[in-house]
């Protein structure tokens, strides 16, 4: 386990003291890799990637201070590979979606059939 992985909890706590919103986002992130003076931080979604990505200079300075690193490392925020959008199935129109829901849920099918539901979109 690297020094940053061991110190991650303390780093997040230190960030929370300075910038609570950034620290709250970091609670859902984790150090991914350290290559030379570049540290990649893995985040779960695009929201975290965008917001933490705008704070990389601060994160690098705080990391250097917290771990006594000189010079400050470069911080890159990357989307977790497990959460990158996979190829999605094509969007269904409303009629197809209702038919799919009817097939998946007998209660919805009964409601539509008993009350004569139809798409009025």
Strand partners, 114: none
pLDDT at site 84: 47
pLDDT at site 77: 94
Instruction: Walk me through the domains of the chain, giving residue ranges and CATH numbers.
Output: 3-83 (3.30.300.180), 89-121 (no CATH)
Measured CA to CA, the distance from residue 61 to residue 75 in angstroms comes to: 9
Write the pLDDT tens digit of every residue in 17-67.
999 999 999 999 999 888 878 999 999 999 999 999 999 999 999 988 888
pTM here is 0.63
Write the pLDDT tens digit of every residue in 98-118.
888 888 888 888 888 888 877
DSSP conformation letters of 17-80: HH-HHHHHHHTT-EEEEEETTEEEEEESSHHHHHHHHTTHHHHHHHHHHHHT-SSPPEEEEEE-
pLDDT at 80 over 70: yes
The CA-based angle 79-47-56, given to 5 degrees, is: 70
């Amino acid at each position: 386990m690297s020094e940053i992985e061991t110190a991650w909890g303390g780093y997040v706590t230190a960030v929370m003291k300075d910038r609570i919103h950034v620290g709250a986002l970091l609670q859902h992130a984790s150090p991914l890799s350290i290559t030379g003076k570049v540290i990649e931080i893995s985040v779960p979604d695009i929201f975290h990637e965008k917001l933490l990505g705008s704070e990389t200079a601060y994160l690098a300075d705080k990391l250097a201070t917290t771990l006594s690193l000189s010079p400050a490392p470069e911080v890159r925020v990357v989307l977790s590979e497990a959460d990158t959008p996979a190829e999605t199935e094509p969007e269904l129109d409303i009629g197809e979606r209702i038919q799919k829901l009817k097939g998946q849920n007998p209660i919805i099918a009964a409601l539509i059939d008993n009350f004569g539901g139809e798409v009025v979109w």
